[in-house]
Structure 1
Amino acid sequence: MAKIAIDAGHGGADPGAVYQGRQEKDDNLKLALAVGERLQNAGTDVFYTRTEDIYQTPYQKAMAANESGADFLVSLHRNSSEYPNQYTGVETLVYDNKGEKAEVAEAINSGLENIGFRNNGVKIRPGLVILRRSRMPAVLVETGFINSEEDNRLFDEEFDRIADSIADSILQTVAKNEDAVQEREEVYYRVQTGAFRNRENALRQQEKLSAEGYPAFLVENNGYYLVQVGAFRKLENAVRMEAALRENGYQTYITT
């Protein structure tokens, strides 16, 4: 299961956007903890850049996420504009519109649109430190405008649905990609009985093994002819095969 870093934007001496006493840093932290709780309840390992009202630079947050070993980073923010009620809607920012981060960004926007927010799209922002400095795929979510009465109403009245939607978007997209990677990188264990420069010598050992009932085959690698037996998904099966081959006098080791 992937490890997710959750960043609550701003904090401490940096309140972020402010509107009629409402501070962005507070909304961000409340939502970050709620999304993280849902991810943890689904069995996901979660790292928070902050869980209280403290100040960190975006660089410090990116470095903390990197050091945590997280596989994906979601930074939660709220937008603002020059005049109250000038704009509404959600948007998600990415370093570039490629790969897993783009998929998660689209999923988050679509989910929040279904709740009632205007979908302002996915925007490319390579200059943002939290996106540029993180080593894992990352998105920055602007969850509505803090100086929009309509967006604040949605944020407050539909808060649980918002947290559910963001968590589900992360889980579904990251899990899908994780499964695809595991399929591409599926490991098979083999028992090797010999490595020969001469192909004829390798063939003789392969034929001997086959005559004894072992599923032996040749692999050519860097000028050597490798004689290997079996292709096991479970290591314990390869160990049993190795023990049988050793008992019959072969010098063996397990490879993948």
Structure 2
Amino acid sequence: MPISIMLDAGHGGRDPGAVYNGRQEKDDTLRLTLAVGEILQNHGLDVEYTRTTDIYQSPYEKAMEANNAGVDYFVSIHRNSFPTDNVVSGVQSLVYNLSGIKLEMAENINDQLEAVGFVNLGVEARPNLIVLNRTKMPAVLVEAGFINSNTDNALFDENFDDIAQAIASGILDTLNHPDSVPDPSVYYVQVGSFRNPAYANRLLNELLEQDYTASIVEGDGFFRVRVGSFENLEDAAEMEQDLKRAGYPTIIVS
């Protein structure tokens, strides 16, 4: 069964996103998203889109669309903006937290875009973004240059095909990793990873006192505190949301 991914062209319809000299983010993102999707399809991925035309969807609707489709990965493509024109340029990717396969994918995408000519501004955790915190699968938001940077716009327009290929290559490089395809048989919600076992045991006892089915998994010099196991992703995602509401950082692992 092929790996599935949902691509999201940021903004759309009545929401133009960032605007600079008449240029609208929603137009750049749609064009780029469709180009990336075509490359991924040609490499055997099952590609779905939140939109293929100029329509509006709320971030929540986009996240729910991905969840209902049951895709393996979610990538949202945007253009960045800065309060002052032509001051900042470069690419940046955003993830819910700096761990797991989503971080690896974000870093791979940034590296590929840097090779095209963009400044690499790195990967940042943004747990408050709905398309990152309400999606049940690994999710990455890519900021493909600043729309109010003449430098980035020239790079975007003159190297468009290379940029689409760079994003696709970053995704494909990640999926070639042996850990990129989750084992569907069992899932866990990880709430901490420590080198010091005392910290892991402290968190374990805290969870057990709240009647969570928690355990510690040791490996590679780390003590990982996990809740579960779950036979399907939906149950794991429900537990993850419960733990998030309780104030714990979470990631679903298999």
TM-score (norm 1): 0.70
Residue identity matched to 1:79 = N
Distance change >3 Å, CA 180–CA 7, structure 1 → 2: closer
User: Residue 154 of structure 1 aligns with which residue?
Assistant: 155
In the alignment, the residues of structure 1 paired with residue 81 and residue 100 of structure 2 have an alpha-carbon distance, to the nearest angstrom, of 28
Which has the greater radius of gyration? 1
In the alignment, the residues of structure 2 paired with residue 180 and residue 60 of structure 1 have an alpha-carbon distance, to the nearest angstrom, of 25
User: Residue 67 of structure 2 aligns with which residue?
Assistant: 66
Residue identity matched to 1:119 = N
**Residue 96 (str. 1) matches residue 97 (str. 2):** yes
**Residue 27 (str. 1) matches residue 50 (str. 2):** no
**Structure 2 residue ranges without an equivalent (≥5):** 186-254
State the Cα deviation string for residues 69-117 of structure 1 (Å, max 9, x = none): 1100000000001111010000000000111100000001111111110
Residue identity matched to 1:40 = Q
User: Tell me, what secondary structure is at the counterpart of 2:55?
Assistant: coil
User: Residue 170 of structure 1 aligns with which residue?
Assistant: 171
Contact 1:2–1:175 (CA under 8 A) maintained in structure 2: no
In the alignment, the residues of structure 2 paired with residue 24 and residue 131 of structure 1 have an alpha-carbon distance, to the nearest angstrom, of 19
Distance change >3 Å, CA 27–CA 180, structure 1 → 2: closer
Instruction: Give, in angstroms, the shift of residue 180 of structure 1.
Output: 6.7
Instruction: Give, in angstroms, the shift of residue 175 of structure 1.
Output: 3.1
User: Residue 109 of structure 1 aligns with which residue?
Assistant: 110
Contact 1:100–1:177 (CA under 8 A) maintained in structure 2: no
User: Residue 235 of structure 2 aligns with which residue?
Assistant: none
User: Tell me, what secondary structure is at the counterpart of 1:55?
Assistant: coil
User: Residue 3 of structure 2 aligns with which residue?
Assistant: 2
User: Tell me, what secondary structure is at the counterpart of 1:14?
Assistant: coil
User: Residue 128 of structure 1 aligns with which residue?
Assistant: 129
State the Cα deviation string for residues 154-208 of structure 1 (Å, max 9, x = none): 10111101101111111120232457756x98xxxxxxxxxxxxxxxxxxxxxxx
In the alignment, the residues of structure 2 paired with residue 95 and residue 29 of structure 1 have an alpha-carbon distance, to the nearest angstrom, of 23
Distance change >3 Å, CA 69–CA 89, structure 1 → 2: same
In the alignment, the residues of structure 1 paired with residue 80 and residue 142 of structure 2 have an alpha-carbon distance, to the nearest angstrom, of 9
**Structure 1 residue ranges without an equivalent (≥5):** 186-256
Residue identity matched to 1:13 = R
Distance change >3 Å, CA 179–CA 86, structure 1 → 2: closer
User: Residue 47 of structure 2 aligns with which residue?
Assistant: 46
User: Tell me, what secondary structure is at the counterpart of 1:150?
Assistant: helix
User: Residue 192 of structure 1 aligns with which residue?
Assistant: none
Distance change >3 Å, CA 59–CA 179, structure 1 → 2: closer
User: Residue 194 of structure 1 aligns with which residue?
Assistant: none
Please report the RMSD computed on the Cα atoms of aligned residues, expressed in angstroms: 1.5
